[in-house]
Amino acid sequence: MRRLVSAFTAAVLLQALTMTWAAQSVYPTGATIYRPDRTWSGYTVLSPLGTQAVLVIDMNGNVVKRWDGFVNSAGGPARVLPGGSVIAANGTRAPHQESLELVQRDFEGNVLWRFGRSEQITVGGNMVWSARQHHDWQREDFPAGYYSPAATPAIQGSRTLILTHSSRTQPKVSDKPLEDDRIIEVSPSGEVLWDWVAGDHIDEFGFADDARRVIKSAPDFNAGRNSFDWLHVNSATYVGPNHWFDEGDTRFSPNNVIISSRQASLMAIIGRDGKIVWQLGPDFSKSRELRAIRQIIGQHHAHIIPKGLPGAGNLLVFDNGGSSGYGFASPIAPDGVGAFARAGSRVLEINPVTLALVWSYSDARFFSTNISSAQRLPNGNTLITAGAGGRLFEVTRENAIVWEYMYPLFNGTQNAVYRGYRIPYDWIPQLQRPNEQPITPPALGEFRLGSGLK
């Protein structure tokens, strides 16, 4: 986890964490709410951190499929394709937050495809090829990486977008060595077809002078990695087919790439010529529309809702809170790092052209400082992964929770889930459709263990 920038910010975040289930000694795990009449039911694919597996659960929280042999310590989504195959990251390179390869396995676990030749690195004193993948990847024929009735990804044969690292220097960013964000597109055979490196485009992000000075000083230089992860991009996804492009707005070309920078509190769309064609953040005080959205902080999983789903074409993003941002020095961030701070999370749906806030979800107990995601479902509900605490839940447009699941602790210490995705039952035909039962939780204030209170 990245350092918190001040004692004040740390105290605020700690206070918020004590409000969550994870701060209790005893709390429920598994499925705790299920209202079949109001959910979009299916299997949920989990990418847990620390479990070294990809899991699939039913709506009652039962594990119905497990693929072992995936080391997900670097973070990144696992996705299941129609027919029951899975793609996920594998391999780790401590202390760097990255994986060695991206691997596709069939239902039985046999390897169908793998990619691990982005750069050569040193592991254990030996030079090896590595994907250097971190945080995200996506198939070209799988818009946003989750189910939509308007798109059916092929089992194999699609281009793949991979978010990677590249060790380099770029004086425009800093004089210190960088662990720069590099995005590559690879063919099914592993040929690199497109290549973009963040540091070469720092001038296009429009950072203010004070932010550039802070970045130049490399305040988060990591001695263990001998590098500065200056932008910390945590998601990169194809824009995908959308009505904005159909109506003539070329910024939203389907094969353009939308990224999210946690550290800089900004989201941007990269054109295929490498230039930034659209941007949101880092300063949300510059217009009436941005002030209505309010400051987005440390966000994850920014993407355009795919065609075929309610809200198609809008931006959906998990606004984590915590702290982020460069410049904007203040009493809680005298060095200009992490001046934006909030002890609470939100999920936002934004019209990317007018910047109107279309829908949002927040709650006083809702806070995940890192990872996390949101998926729009075909019935208009939204599946939210509050990843740091291992909580997944489905909410309606009216913000009613109609399904909830708490991932149990792994080895007594870790229950984080990087992302969760809901897929149709028939995408895994090898499994018999489960006979699931509604789950109604006890009324708040009435649940007791043992003799309890009378």
Q: Is 276 exposed, middle or buried (0-12, 13-18, 19+ CB in 10 A)?
A: middle
pLDDT at 123: 84
Backbone angles phi, psi at 310, to 5 degrees: -60, 130
Q: What DSSP line would sit under 253-314, residue for residue? A: -TTSEEEEETTTTEEEEE-TTS-EEEEE-S-TTSSHHHHHH----S-EEEEEPPTTSTTTTS
Confidence band for 73, pLDDT divided at 50, 70 and 90:
low
Q: pLDDT-based confidence at 451, cuts 50/70/90?
A: low
Q: Retrieve residue 187's tokens.
A: 């063919």
Lowest mean pLDDT among 56-60, 92-96, 196-200, 428-432: 92-96
Per-domain boundaries in the chain: 7-427
pLDDT: is 201 or 28 the higher one? 201
Percent of the chain with pLDDT over 90: 82
pLDDT classification of 332: cutoffs 50, 70, 90: confident
Of the candidate ranges 1-10, 233-242, 252-261, 371-380, the one whose mean pLDDT is the lowest: 1-10
pLDDT of residue 412: 66
Q: pLDDT at residue 29 above 60?
A: yes
List Cβ neighbours of 306 (8 Å cut-off, separation of 6 or more). Answer: 143, 144, 146, 148, 150, 151, 240, 241, 242, 312, 376
pLDDT given for residue 445 in this prediction:
80
* Mean pLDDT of all residues belonging to the chain: 92
For the stretch 336-369, pLDDT in tens is 999 899 999 999 999 999 999 999 999 998 999 9
Higher-confidence position of 198 and 409 = 198
Residues 246-262, mean pLDDT to the nearest whole number: 98
- DSSP-derived 3-state class of residue 183: strand
432 CB contacts (<8 Å, ≥6 apart)?
none
Query: What is the mean pLDDT of the segment spanning 107-115?
Result: 97
Task: Give the pLDDT score at 23.
Answer: 55
pTM of the model: 0.94
Would you place residue 330 in the very low, low, confident or very high pLDDT band (cuts 50, 70, 90)? confident
Q: What is the pLDDT of residues 366-379, one digit of tens each?
A: 999 999 999 999 99
Q: Is the pLDDT of residue 401 over 90?
A: yes
Summarize pLDDT for 274-296 with one digit per residue, the tens.
Answer: 999 999 999 999 999 999 999 99
**Secondary structure letter of residue 408 according to DSSP:** P
Question: Is it the case that residue 67 has pLDDT exceeding 90?
Answer: yes
pLDDT tier for residue 443 given thresholds of 50, 70 and 90: confident
Looking at the predicted structure, is the pLDDT value of residue 383 above 50? Answer: yes
Report CA torsion sign: 38, 42, 47, 53.
positive
Query: Residue range 295-301: average pLDDT?
Result: 98
pLDDT above 80 (res 18): no
Residue 82, pLDDT above cutoff 90: yes
The whole-number pLDDT of residue 25 equals 74
Task: Name the superfamily (CATH) of residues 7-427.
Answer: TolB, C-terminal domain (2.120.10.30)
AA identity, residue 121: I
Q: How is residue 181 written in tokens?
A: 């964000």
